Amino acid sequence: MSSTSPIVVVLDQEIVAAAHAAGENAWWLYCTEVLDHLRLPYTVIGPEEAAGRLATGDVVAVYPHEGRLVTSAGETAFDPGIWQRIVEIQQGVPVEKDGTPAPDGSSPVDDGLLKCDDGITLSYVTDRAVPPGEATVEGEFPHVYPPEAAPPMFHQAMADRLRLDFLALVFDAAAGVNLVLPWLHYWPAGVPAVAHMSHDSDGNVSEQAASGLDVFDQAGVKVTWCHCFPGGYTPEIVAEIAARGHEQALHYNAMGDADIASWGWPQLRAQYAWAQALTGRDGIVSNKNHYTRWEGWDEFFLWCERIGIQIDQSRGPSKQGNVGFPFGSCHLWFPIAGAAELNRRIDVLELPLHTQDLAWASHISIRDVILDEVLALHGVAHFLFHSAHLHTKPDVAEACRQVAAEARRRGMPWWTSEQLNSWERGRRGVQLAVSSADGELRVEITAEQAVKGAGVLLAVPGLAENAAFVVVSGAARASVVTRHGRLLLELAADLPAGTSSFTVRPTG
């Protein structure tokens, strides 16, 4: 099947090796992560083999280093700098000192504490906008809690949009040679986007946690509950968190306010063990760093990989003027390691964080900007709350209940990070292939593990909105849906582990 994949990624391994030998990043290797997230079928080949594949006429050849897309019908150029841009928006630049604050005073990241938003590469000047309907503050923005006004925010997921710009070229190129591209919807069939709520236990006051549990019940949301070293709640509260269906997770503390609460691998390892002992849960899969602490570039992801944290949720804002999409994404993505590790994929998913406590840490007007952008890009919206605020501030509790309802109103269900991690890793084990003959489309799917309610999407050239299909073989429902502004044929099906196949035919 792989020998006939409709996409080939053409990599000259000598150029990759030369970059790594010089200690430089081969950013273009990230092309495969962009394709992998959609489960687009591709193979990596060398330049010599590419000519042979192109001669067969049924392939889109991607040259990520050169910025070229080639088919038998012609060639399309794109900016080869796109890969570095995507990675640096998502992963930032190495955090070694305080970042440069926004000129309007809305993001005072120069606070003497190293954290994710010190490494932001998006521009405070050109990449932000004031939420619709909010007045622009003249002069210095007053960064007070709760915010008196709405500052400009990172209103667009710029890295996701860059990915989509590239993918649009791939889909157009395939359509140009009448090639059907299959991909796998990010979420279960019919679900346009999802939402995630996390909770940080800063201070570990059990009375506050009890209030938080009540508010989350009222909101109807199961949260990812991140436990902050040192101390911990009473055993009764810890048990109640699990009993009410919330996920037990770690809130790694490197703020220097307690013994071993500092930045380092031994400290993370010790705090992970502490959280296991506190919760009684061996297999903690998720973490968020207290105060969104960060140092260096890839070190923290490598530590997570080493200890078994499968999904990190640290990369988000700590200031009012860099909420929204400061790292350009609302999708689950795998980071790459630096040149020293040959830019390999690090086996830790990143779940981007979009804001801390609405109506306290951020202005309430950002809520719908986040939800609407995530819905438009079929991503996951992440809202963090602290029970320290839910307990004492009725406005924050109300904002929590309201955002829960607003996401649901948009058709976005609330998932814990553990659910997100399992789903994404499950769908990453799916391989798709499609062939067409006699007017029928035959789809062959191999899944490493079962995926319930999958949405297999087929980019069929010339597909009409009112087209109707019948599933000739295999248990699936066929319908025409719109994703990323394109009409696609969706097959909704439960995928068992192993290989399954479906045949569909247009009716009429």
Question: Among 470, 461, 508, 506, which Cα is nearest to 488's?
Answer: 461
Select the span of 3-11, 199-207, 292-300, 429-437 touching Zn ion (CB under 5 A): 199-207
Residues 149-168 that bind Zn ion (CB under 5 A): none
Instruction: Give least dist CB 399 to Zn ion, A.
Output: 18
Instruction: Select the residue whose beta carbon is closest to Zn ion and give its number.
Output: 290
Select the span of 102-110, 197-205, 306-314, 370-378 touching Zn ion (CB under 5 A): 197-205
Q: How many CB atoms neighbour CB 4 within 10 A? A: 13
Number of residues that bind Zn ion (CB under 5 A): 3
Nearer to Zn ion, 88 or 200 (CB): 200
Select the span of 28-36, 137-145, 200-208, 359-367 touching Zn ion (CB under 5 A): 200-208
Residues 282-341 that bind Zn ion (CB under 5 A): 290
DSSP 149: S
Return the axis-axis angle of helices 265-279 and 235-243, rounded to nearest 10°.
Answer: 80
Binding mask 475-504 for Zn ion (x = CB under 5 A): ------------------------------
How far apart, in whole angstroms, are the C-alpha atoms of residue 419 and residue 411?
A: 17
How far apart, in whole angstroms, are the C-alpha atoms of residue 302 and residue 145?
A: 35
| End-to-end CA separation in angstroms for the chain | 31
How far apart, in whole angstroms, are the C-alpha atoms of residue 220 and residue 223?
A: 10
DSSP 494: E
- Is residue 289 within 8 Å of residue 314, measured between CB atoms? yes
Select the span of 202-210, 235-243, 401-409, 477-485 touching Zn ion (CB under 5 A): 202-210
Which of 118, 160, 202, 490 is close enough to bind Zn ion by CB under 5 A? Answer: 202
Per CB under 5 A, 357 contacts Zn ion: no
Q: How many CB atoms neighbour CB 501 within 10 A? A: 12
Select the span of 152-160, 196-204, 314-322, 438-446 touching Zn ion (CB under 5 A): 196-204
Nearer to Zn ion, 118 or 200 (CB): 200
Instruction: Give least dist CB 448 to Zn ion, A.
Output: 35
Nearer to Zn ion, 202 or 247 (CB): 202
Nearer to Zn ion, 171 or 385 (CB): 385
DSSP 365: T
Nearer to Zn ion, 211 or 422 (CB): 211
Nearer to Zn ion, 39 or 251 (CB): 251
Nearer to Zn ion, 83 or 263 (CB): 263
Per CB under 5 A, 200 contacts Zn ion: yes
Write the Ramachandran bin of 485: left for phi over 0, alpha for psi from -120 to 50, otherwise beta.
Answer: left
Instruction: Give least dist CB 132 to Zn ion, A.
Output: 30
Nearer to Zn ion, 118 or 127 (CB): 118
Strands 380-386 and 194-200: parallel
Select the span of 114-122, 129-137, 194-202, 216-224 touching Zn ion (CB under 5 A): 194-202
Question: Among 440, 328, 430, 437, which Cα is nearest to 373's?
Answer: 328
Per residue in 219-250, is it b (16+ CB within 10 Å) or e — as a string? bebbbbbbbbbeebbeeebbebbeeeebbbbb
Per CB under 5 A, 127 contacts Zn ion: no
DSSP 126: T
How far apart, in whole angstroms, are the C-alpha atoms of residue 90 and residue 119?
A: 10
- Footprint on this chain of Zn ion (rule: CB under 5 A): 200, 202, 290
